[in-house]
Every structure is written in C-alpha cells, then in structure tokens.
Chain A
Amino acid sequence: MMWLTWRQFRWQAVTAAAVLAVLAIALAATGIGLSTRFDQAGLSTCHSACSSLATNFVRDLRGTPYAALFFGCIILLYLAPALMGIFWGAPLIAREFEAGTHRLAWNQSITRARWSAVKLGLIGLAAVATAGLLSLMITWWAGPIDRALNLVGGSPSFGGTRMSPVVFAARGVAPLGYAAFAFALGVTAGVLIRRTLPAMAITLVIFAGVQFLVPNFVRPHLLPPVQATAPFNANTANEIMISAQGNANSTDNTMTVVGDFSQPGAWMLSNKTITPAGKAFTGPAGTACTGNSTPQQCGNWLDSQHLRQQVTYQPASRFWPLQLIETGIYLILAAGLGLLCTWQVRRRRA
C-alpha cells in the first residue's frame, strides 16, 4: 500500500522537491549577504541605539531584492498549504471515485480503513514535511530582518514584526499546522463530494475562510492579552483626528486621538484613549484645536485633559507559545478530519 501511495504521488513529490530546491538555492545565495548587512549595520552588537540602527537597516532594504524575497516568501508560505490542500488533498480519494478505481482498490486483500489511513498518513506527512522545510528555510533566511524589525518598535512600514498577523503565519511551526489542516480538509471534501473539481473549490473557500478568521478572532485570545494603561502624551501621539461634520471650524466636531505605545515587536490588539471618567475620548474639538490655534496649543490643551491610553497587546515574548498553541489546534483539527474521512470511506455506500 505504501508503494502504491508513493507511485500515485510521484509527480506531486517531484514538483514539491523542485520548488524546495529552487527556493533553497535562492535563499542560500542571498542569506549570507543578508546576514553580512545585518552585522555591518552594527545590529549584532548594539546595546543602546539599536532602534535607530534597526530603522536605518530596514529602510535601506526597501527596493532591494531582499525586500522582494521577504514578501515573496510570505506569499509562498501562504500559498503552500492551500495548494497542497487543493492539489494533494482534494484529488486523493475523489479521483478514485471518479475513475471507479475504488472498486479495484477495495477488492484487494486490504481493508478500506488501512487503505485510507496509509494514503492520509503518508501524503499528510509529506505535506507537513514540505511546509516544515519551507518554513525552516524561510524563517532562517528572514532572521536578520525579523530581529531588526523587533528592535524598531513602533509600527514599522516594512511588512511587520513576526508577531503581526501577516508575518506570523509565515514563520515557525504554524505552516505545518496549516498544511496538515488544508490537506485533511481537501481529502475530506473529496470523500464527501466524490468529485475532484468541486472538492478543490470547496477546500479553497473553506481554507481561505479559516485563515481569515483565525488571526482576527481566535489568535488574539489564545493567551489572555496583556492590558496596560499609560498617560496620554500629545507630543508623541500617533494620531490626532478631527472629523469635520459640516463646518470644519466648528468647535463641536468629534475628535479622536491615538497615543504612541512603544512595545517593540508586540502585536497591538487595541489602543484606546480614555477620559479620567473611563469613557472613550471623543472631543469635542473645542476652541484649542480648531480655527487659528496652533498644534502646540492643541497639544497643551489635550495634555491638560489628563487622558490615558489603554492598550491590549500580545508581547513579542509570546511568539513561540502562540505558535505552538495555534499549531496544536490545527493539528487536532486535521486529525479529526482524518478520522472523519476514514469513517466515511468505511461506510458501505459504494
């Protein structure tokens, strides 16, 4: 059965190996250069002025092939699990139903449970290993950039720190979970629908949906977010906004402010400015911030309001715990889907 599974998987394996090889070459060729730049920027040995050194380093990367590779690798790690789910998972059993070869396979001296378990296990392992190798190579290569972004603090305008949702999914062990889940999802769709193309479409839609929902609604709560409060300082505010409803100079216009909260490498979940009474600050703009008043006057007035900043975030130190928890959840989902598949295959529906 193992021989048959590999024999049927031959071309997909070759494709995966080719992609891995090409990527390995590209990353190996540029990885050393990137590390050298990192050292030359003084970031490997800095103690105090790291933030500004890091900002320079990251800014200098823009427009270089390194930036293209950085984003390209993120896209690759987004696509890889989806593609494996669609092209390795969905056809795995659906193709047999379509060709009628399940009537050939299920009459050999092997039970259906074993037949589907071996297929699921071997190819699932291949999917996870592929995603693992991809993530390993890319996480290694992007190391210098990730470390620099972590030192920058604030909100860097280059992708994001590895805690940010965009990058988080393309680092560490998370892609392994995604690959296992996408694959199991694809096989299940194929078993239930019994047609390859619809199964591929459904897999794509559901996987994309899950990959959107998890970072936005699940991951923030995997570990209780840290809450902090600090005094609002108008000088370092990120944003002071007055929404002009009608008359731009009216003193009744609503006003929102967002303060700066520096936690290098953290994933900011929410940032509210509240009044001493505990409610969200909405203005009104008042005379200090409208008409001919200067920004300095506006700032002074704001400071006098004794506003506070309330933030929730996941600190950078939680990167690995979150990675492991999330991967664990995806793996459990994948295992559950695998069992569902095997149970469905054993049901006698011809």
Chain B
Amino acid sequence: MTAAIEALGLGKRYGRRWALSDCTLSIPAGRVTGLVGPNGAGKTTLINLATGMLAPTTGSITVLGSKPASGPEQLAKVGYVAQDTPTYAGLTVEDHLRFGAHMNPGWDAALAHKRMSQLGIDPKQKAGKLSGGQRAQLALTLAIAKRPELLILDEPIASLDPLARREFLQVLMETTAEHEISVVMSSHLVADLERVTDYLIVLMSSRVQVTGDIDELLATHYLLSGARRDPAALPAGQQVISARHTDRQSTILVRSTEPILDPTWSVSQLDLEDLVLAYMGNTTASVETGHKIMEEQR
C-alpha cells in the first residue's frame, strides 16, 4: 500500500532557524495519524510542506506518491483544512458549496448538502456569521466533499468548545469509516487525539521524536520503577527513553519488544498522554541524566 505521506531527510529553514530538520517518516495509508507536539515544534511547517504551501530546504516529501500540489489530479486527492479553518467571510454557505463544485471535478454535491442539513447550518448564512464550530464543519465539508484519499487537518479543533469538538470528531470518524480516507491531524492537546488516532508522530524542537502504531507503542513501552541503578546497565533489548533518579530510586522509561522479566523492577504501562509527554522531554528533576540518555539514543 502506498504510504500516505513519505518524507526523507526533510528540512525547512527560515534565515538561521530550522523550523523542521532531519525529518524522515512514512505515514501509512488507511489510518488516522495524530501529529503531536508543542506550539513551535514544527507541526504546521510539516503540514505546509505536505500540502505544497512550502518548498523544502533539504530532503524530499511525497504525498500519495507524488510531489505535493504537483497538479490538479494530485490536488484533488488531498483535502486540507488549515489552522483557524479559513472561509470566505463574505460568501454564504451555499456559495462555498458552489465554490467547491466549480473548483473540483470530483465534487460530491449530495454529500456536501446532506452534511450541511444534518448539522442544521443555514445555506443562506454568510460564513463570517457562523459560529466557530459551524465554520470548522463547513471547512471540513469542503475538504471531504471533493472525495479525497487523504485529509490533512492543522489543529482543526483547538479553538472549539467541547460540544463543537465532539461533533467535529464525530463527523470526521463517520466520514473516515464510510469513505476509507487516510487522515493526518495535528494537535497540541493529546486528549483530543486519543480516541480517534491509531498512528502517532511526536514532534519536538523541530525534530521527529517517535513515530509508530499507537497500540504497538503502548504495548512496548514500560515504566520501570525500582532501586537506583545506572540506566546504561540495562540489557541491550531495552532502549532507554528517559530516566529519573532520587537518592534511592530510579524510574526509567524503556522501549522493548520483549516483556520485562527482571523481578527487581515494578513494571507498569503508560497511557498515550504520558507516552507523548515522555517523548516531549517533560521530565522534571534529574533532568541532566535524563537528557544525556535521550541525546545518546537519537
């Protein structure tokens, strides 16, 4: 199966600052991928590179097998909702649907109208007068009704209230199930993504920290707690992600394909939020030791 998005050594520089560097990943198709990281980590840069809004400084990126925005056919396969879900404030909802129909040969007008009526959005309403949630739904509909193979969403629900958020995700999931679309969704809140994503990319400081299937990641990461010891002394199969120490105790996060059998460890597993935080380096106290280890592993 062609990867949805494939990047090799991808990097983008603005003046002296690298917004994204050394990014190599392969996002599989048919999944809902969560792109997580704090603000300024490079999520929007990666998305801009994937949608063809930016050109790379180094490396390459292919989307559904072709260069991003390389022509009308490729553009038709990718639906994109930018941050703050831009719409034409002066145009009505009906105008937006007509806009979609005129600009996309693969436009599914029935689907678009059904969505709008299901959500109770008045077609004669100007887009500028819609609520944040309704605008987000309109933008999503515009992206979905052109029947793409891949949907790229840049923090689409960040500024929505909880109900609007839930409704957005409901529509997104229903559409993903019905049309078998791949989705790449970025967010700086893990809680948003937990229920909907099954593939994860963590970005931090302009670099990719970890990528992988979420179930597999959760199953292979273990939090080991026990008597203080040197993380370098752990067996080779156990990759240390981070470590914290007090005078008597060590708490070490490892990634291992084998289960941990050492009886001197108390072993527990993480939930998604803890896992992401660990990779974002959110370990307080004894940070020095922890960071050194993380540097070695990269």
Q: In the complex, A touching B, CB below 8 Å?
A: yes
**A residues with CB within 8 A of B:** 1, 3-4, 7-8, 99-101, 103-112, 347-350
Interface size class of B (residues with CB under 8 A): 35 or more
Do residues A111 and B72 form an inter-chain contact, with CB atoms below 8 A? yes
CA distance A101 to B86 in the complex (A): 5
Could you tell me if A110 and B72 are in contact, using CB atoms closer than 8 angstroms? Answer: yes
Which among A1, A106, A108, A347 has the greatest number of chain B C-beta atoms within 10 A? A108
Question: Does residue B104 face the partner (Cβ distance < 8 Å to A)?
Answer: yes
Q: Least Cβ distance of A199 to chain B in Å?
A: 19
Q: A8-B88, A106-B52 are in contact. List 16 more A-B contacts (CB 8 A).
A: A7-B91, A7-B99, A8-B91, A99-B86, A99-B88, A101-B86, A103-B80, A104-B86, A107-B69, A107-B78, A107-B80, A109-B146, A110-B103, A111-B75, A112-B69, A350-B53
Q: How far is the CB of A254 from chain B (nearest CB, A)?
A: 62
Distance in angstroms from A1 CB to nearest chain B CB is: 7
B102 touches A1 (CB 8 A): yes
Q: From B56, which residue of chain A is reached at the shortest CB distance?
A: A348
A contact residues around B104 at 8 Å (CB) = 108-109
Chain B residues lying within 8 Å of A108, measured Cβ to Cβ, are: 75, 99-100, 103-104, 146
Closest Cβ neighbor of B80 among chain A residues: A107
Asked if A109 contacts B106 (CB within 8 A), the reply is yes
Distance A110 CA – B75 CA, assembled complex (angstroms): 7
- CB <8 Å contact, B86 and A3: no
Interface residues in B43-71 (C-beta closer than 8 Å to A): 48, 51-55, 69, 71
Other-chain residue from A4, A103, A111 in contact with B53 (beta carbon distance below 8 A) = A103
Q: Judge whether A348 and B52 touch: CB under 8 Å.
A: yes
In the assembled complex, how far is the CB of residue A316 from the closest CB belonging to chain B, in whole angstroms?
Answer: 49
A109 touches B76 (CB 8 A): yes
**Assuming A109-B146, A110-B72, is B100 touching A100 (CB within 8 A)?**
no
Contacts of B98 in A (CB 8 A): 3
Using Cβ atoms and an 8 Å threshold, which residues of chain B touch A105?
Answer: 103
Distance of A100 Cα from B98 Cα, bound (Å): 20
Q: What string of 1s and 0s marks CB contacts (under 8 Å) between B80-91 and chain A? A: 101010111111
Confirm or deny: B108 has a beta carbon within 8 angstroms of a beta carbon on chain A: no
Task: Decide if A106 touches B87 in the complex (CB within 8 Å).
Answer: no
Task: Please name all residues of chain A whose beta carbon is closer than 8 Å to the beta carbon of B95 when the two chains form the complex.
Answer: 7
Cross-chain contact of B51 among A4, A7, A107, A347 (Cβ < 8 A): A107
Q: Which residues of chain A have C-beta atoms less than 8 A from B78's C-beta? A: 107
Which secondary structure characterizes the binding site on chain A?
loop
Neighbouring B residues of A112 by C-beta, 8 Å: 69
A349 to B103, CA, bound (A): 23
Closest to A348 in B: B55
**How distant is the Cα of A350 from the Cα of B80 in the complex, in angstroms?**
14
7 shortest A-B CB distances, which residue pairs?
A348-B55, A108-B103, A103-B82, A100-B86, A109-B76, A350-B53, A107-B80
CB of B7 closer than 8 Å to a CB of A: no
Q: Shortest CB–CB separation between residue A204 and chain B, in angstroms?
A: 24
Min CB distance B271 to A, Å, is 34
Instruction: Indicate whether A104 sits within 8 Å of B139 (C-beta atoms), given known contacts A1-B103, A3-B102, A348-B54.
Output: yes
Q: Knowing A8-B88, A103-B80, A104-B86 touch, does A109 contact B53 (C-beta < 8 A)? A: no
Q: Which residue of B lies closest to A7 (CB)?
A: B95
B254 on interface, CB distance cutoff 8 Å: no
Interface residue ranges of B93-140 to A (CB < 8 Å): 95, 98-100, 102-106, 139
Distance of A100 Cα from B82 Cα, bound (Å): 9
Q: A4-B103, A108-B103 are in contact. Are A100 and B71 (CB under 8 A)?
A: no
A1-B102, A99-B89, A100-B82 as given contacts; A109 in contact with B75, CB under 8 Å: yes
Cβ-closest chain A residue relative to B99 = A4
A3-B102, A111-B72 as given contacts; A350 in contact with B54, CB under 8 Å: yes
Query: Considering the chains assembled together, what is the distance between the CA atoms of A350 and B142 in angstroms?
Result: 20
Shortest B181–chain A CB gap in Å is: 15
Nearest-neighbor residue (CB-CB) of A114 within chain B: B72
The yes or no answer to B11 lying at the interface (CB within 8 A) is no
Shortest distance from the beta carbon of B45 to any chain A beta carbon, whole Å: 9
Q: Given contacts A99-B89, A100-B86, A350-B54, is CB(A4)–CB(B80) below 8 Å?
A: no
Complex Cα–Cα for A106 and B72 (A): 10
Give the Cβ gap from A198 to chain B, nearest Cβ, in Å: 21
Residue in B79, B86, B99 whose beta carbon sits within 8 Å of that of A103 in the complex: B86
Please name 19 pairs of A and B residues whose Cβ atoms are closer than 8 Å in the assembled complex, sorted by A: A3-B102, A4-B99, A103-B80, A104-B87, A104-B88, A106-B53, A107-B78, A108-B103, A108-B104, A109-B72, A109-B75, A109-B103, A109-B104, A109-B105, A109-B146, A111-B69, A111-B72, A347-B55, A350-B48
Judge whether A111 and B100 touch: CB under 8 Å.
no
Q: Cα distance A347–B53 when bound, in Å?
A: 9
The smallest C-beta distance from B110 to any residue of chain A, in angstroms, reads 18
A349 x B54 contact (CB < 8 A): yes
B90: A residues at CB distance < 8 A:
8
Instruction: Report B-chain residues with C-beta under 8 Å of the C-beta of A110.
Output: 72, 75, 103
Q: Of residues A3, A101, A105, A350, which shows the largest number of chain B Cβ atoms within 10 Å of its Cβ?
A: A350
Give the complex CA separation of A104 and B73 in angstroms.
Answer: 17
A323 CB to nearest chain B CB (Å): 39
Q: Given B53, B88, B91, B100, which contacts A348 in the complex, CB threshold below 8 Å?
A: B53
Query: How far apart sit A350 and B146, CA to CA, in the bound complex (Å)?
Result: 22
Q: Which residue of B lies closest to A103 (CB)?
A: B82
Tell me whether B102 and A107 are in contact (CB under 8 A): no
Given the complex of chains A and B, what is the CA–CA distance between A103 and B44 in angstroms?
Answer: 12
B103 neighbours in A (Cβ, 8 Å): 1, 4, 105, 108-110
User: Chain A residues near B48 (CB, 8 Å)?
Assistant: 350
